Every structure is written in structure tokens, then in C-alpha cells.
Amino acid sequence: MSNQDLLQRDLSVLWHPCTQMKDHETLPLIPIKRGKGVYLEDFNGKQYIDAISSWWVNLFGHSHPYINQAITAQLDQLEHVMLAGFSHEPVVTLSERLVALAPDGLDRCFFADNGSCAVEVALKMSFHYWRNCGRNEKTRFVTLDNSYHGETLGALAVGNLSLYRETYGPLLLDTLVAPSPDCFYRPPGVSWEEYSRERFMEMDHLLARHADEVCAVIVEPLVQCAGYMRMYHPVYLSLLREACDRYGVHLIADEIAVGFGRTGTLFACEQAPVSPDFMCLSKGLTGGYMPLSVTLTTEQIYRAFYNDYESMTAFLHSHSYTGNPLGCSAANATLDLFQQQPVLENNVTLAATMMTAAQELNEHPHVAEVRQQGMILAVEMIKDKQRREPYPWQERRGLRVYRYALEQGVLLRPLGNVIYLMPPYVITPEEIGRVIDVAKKGIAIATRD
């Protein structure tokens, strides 16, 4: 079979995610035959470095022997059982380990099978908690401008990217939006910390006005990933935690993208440090192998649901594949790898290599900023650097980099005018060098007219 064969079959029956399918009249769709380490290989034998971890899921490379073996062993035991009324060893072990690793106080695990659903669970649980406490007036959520929390209607409603949200506006919950602490817009000479602190004041005012009707504030700690990899200082999270306590509002940390070491610490919240009332995890949870997600919460919130059945306070939410044993075994194997190797320590060196290699892009006349949090590095292209005028989105400059990089055997899927790296942790310094070299040439090509 060649790329061409599979491509034709694909385009006659599939509808791909997050894609204007007409683009594929000119943009090649790439059928992948296998993956190994950081490499993906197509049906013509061409290899691509997966510099974005296949939508930020993969942590230790494709087809990792240890994770493969764990899933195979689990497959021989139990592929799946419903989690209502039943339990199994991988889900219990995984929950014990997550509770031990998560910020203090997150002692209960509720599973689902994708990130958006983990967010839905947090929103519904928070709302329901307040109801169980007799606080029926609490019905709203606060979110940050430029945030993203998934595509199902509840998760979409608490996101704030018009590209994904606007069309569905009439269907969505009415959320309260605070300005983003995103440091891209800080004036010259102002530090990330000063800017994030200053931005917090509006959040405080919003909570002061609306706390009575607000269930929770939801944030992506430190990096708004789908929101163009915009970043902010951990002080914002400390201030937010303190304010949520003061105003009697829950804090939901969506660590679906930033969890499992992406920002340098195992969880981004540790850098503040704060313990949220809910923490959503998915993506890297299974090392990038299986659809699995979890919403962690506190014993105190759990207790507000715990009562006689007739009280009707139970959380009657479920998904068929909740806590799937194969997914849990992949997750346990992923946590083993974190235990067996000094992953976060090694990543410090890899992150420094990424920045050193990308640094000179700061001087590029059409690069507004090179920014980094741990293993996430982003380069923002701009039309006019002095006036900070962005390229019109219709020009799709990022897409030009994407095309060039693919030709060169590197997968760099941009977010608008932002090119970023979020590689698997098994990438070598040489491979980082190659990826950044391709990014530099791609940016040169994409900005030359």
C-alpha cells in the first residue's frame, strides 16, 4: 500500500477533526504506517519528527517497549469492565498513585475518556456541590480570555477562542470572562510577574461583584496552549487561589495539556504552588496511548455528595469507557517511567537546548517573541514588529511553515501565526537542533513577502 492508495480511500469516507476538508485538495494528508520514538513513518517510508507530540499527548515516544508490554499484559487479563458497581486493579492503582502525586488535598479520582469530558465533570461537580449545599444561586463560571477547555458544549462555553466558540454561541452557557494574564501584551520593561499581578486586579473585581452567583473559576495553569501558546507567571495562580478562598468559589485547574512535566514540574500548579479544588488530566496521562481522563477533587467536595440514595445528591454522571483498564495500564506504565528515570531533571537540559537553538529568532524582523515554559517553546510571527501588528489570519503564514516542515520531515502544526515545539521527552539535542533549523527556514520562507 502507498500513501496515495490510503489517502484516496480516506478522503472518500472520513471527515477529519479540526479541518476544513477542502484544504486537502491542495494540502497533503499524511497516512502514517508506524511510529517509533519521536519518529512517525508514512507508507512511502518517509519519516517525520513528531515535534508536537501528536497534539500534545505523547510523552516517551511512539511504540515505547515498556508501555507496549504493559498494555499487552493487561489485554490478556481484562480489556474492559464497566466502572459502576465494578472495579479493577489498574484503576485502583492508578488512582492511588495520582492522589499521591497530585497537589495536596486532591484525594478523589473520577474517570472519563477524553479531556473535554474531564472538564464537563469538573463543571457539573462544582455546580452540583453548591446545589447540594443549598447554594442554588451559584450557576455561573468564570474563565480567562483566550482560554481553551475542549469542544463539548460545556467545555466550549468556558473556553474563549472565537475561532472554535463563535458559531455555537447561541447554544452555550453564559460565562463571565476575565482578562488573560498572557504576558505577550506586557509593555516594554514590565516583567512577567508584574504584568500577571496587574492583570489579576480585574479578576479580583469580577469575583467581588459576582461571587454569589459563581460556582468556579477555570484556568489553564501557566500556558494557554490552544490560545497560541500564550504564557503567564505562576503568581497569578497564587493570587487566584487566595481570592477563590476569600470569595467562596472553586478553582478548576485544567492541566490536560500542561500536566505531566510539560512546564517543567509534574503539574504546572506546583510552580505557584497551589492546590485547586478540581484538577483535570488527560493527554499525557496514558503517555499518549489511549483515550483516558480524570478529574481529581477534594474529600470535602466528595462528602457533599455522599448520602442516602433518597437524598438524590449523588453524581449520576457516566461514560461507557470510564476508567478503561487498558488505558489505566498505559497510565501506570507512564508513571513507572517517571519513577524509573530522572525525566524532569533531563528535561531541564533539553529545554535549555531548545531555547539556545531558538534564541536568535528573537532578532528576526518578523518574530515578535520567543517564549518558553519548560518543554513548551513558542515563536510568534508578526507583520510589523515595532507596531506589533499581527499578520492577517487569512494569510495563513503558520500553514506555510507547516508545509515546509513536512517536506523536510518535521511535524510542526502551527496555531495561527505561532510555531511551537512540545516534543516527546525522548527527543535528542541533535533532533531538537534539526527541528529548530527547519522552523527557522520555514519562518524565513513564510515571512519573506
Interface contacts to ligand PMP, rule CB under 6 A: 114-116, 119, 148-150, 220, 225-226, 254, 256-257, 282
Rounded to a whole number of angstroms, the minimum distance from the CB of residue 344 to ligand PMP is 20
Residues 6+ apart with CB under 8 A from 243: 200, 203, 204, 207, 249
Residue 74 or 160 with smaller CB distance to ligand PMP: 160
Q: Which amino acid is at 347?
A: N
Residue 225 or 328 with smaller CB distance to ligand PMP: 225
Rounded to a whole number of angstroms, the minimum distance from the CB of residue 114 to ligand PMP is 4
Residue 115 or 423 with smaller CB distance to ligand PMP: 115
Residue 268 or 367 with smaller CB distance to ligand PMP: 268
Rounded to a whole number of angstroms, the minimum distance from the CB of residue 440 to ligand PMP is 26
Q: How far apart are CA 381 and CA 376, in angstroms?
A: 16
Q: How many CB atoms lie within 10 A of CB 439?
A: 26
Residues 6+ apart with CB under 8 A from 360: 440
On whether the CB atoms of residues 436 and 421 are closer than 8 A, the answer is yes
Rounded to a whole number of angstroms, the minimum distance from the CB of residue 55 to ligand PMP is 6
Rounded to a whole number of angstroms, the minimum distance from the CB of residue 148 to ligand PMP is 6
Residue 259 or 353 with smaller CB distance to ligand PMP: 259
Residue 115 or 154 with smaller CB distance to ligand PMP: 115
Rounded to a whole number of angstroms, the minimum distance from the CB of residue 346 to ligand PMP is 24
Parallel/antiparallel/unpaired status of strands 47-50 and 410-411: parallel
Residue 122 or 367 with smaller CB distance to ligand PMP: 122
* Closest C-alpha among 165, 201, 163 to residue 181: 201
126 grid coordinates: 462544582
Q: What is residue 332's three-state secondary structure?
A: helix
Rounded to a whole number of angstroms, the minimum distance from the CB of residue 321 to ligand PMP is 13
Q: How far apart are CA 236 and CA 182, in angstroms?
A: 10
- Beta-bridged to residue 250, according to DSSP, are 216
Q: How many CB atoms lie within 10 A of CB 411?
A: 21
Q: How far apart are CA 352 and CA 156, in angstroms?
A: 35
Rounded to a whole number of angstroms, the minimum distance from the CB of residue 17 to ligand PMP is 9
Residue 131 or 319 with smaller CB distance to ligand PMP: 319
Parallel/antiparallel/unpaired status of strands 140-144 and 214-219: parallel
Q: Which residue is nearest to ligand PMP, using beta carbons?
A: 115
Residues 6+ apart with CB under 8 A from 335: 94, 97, 101
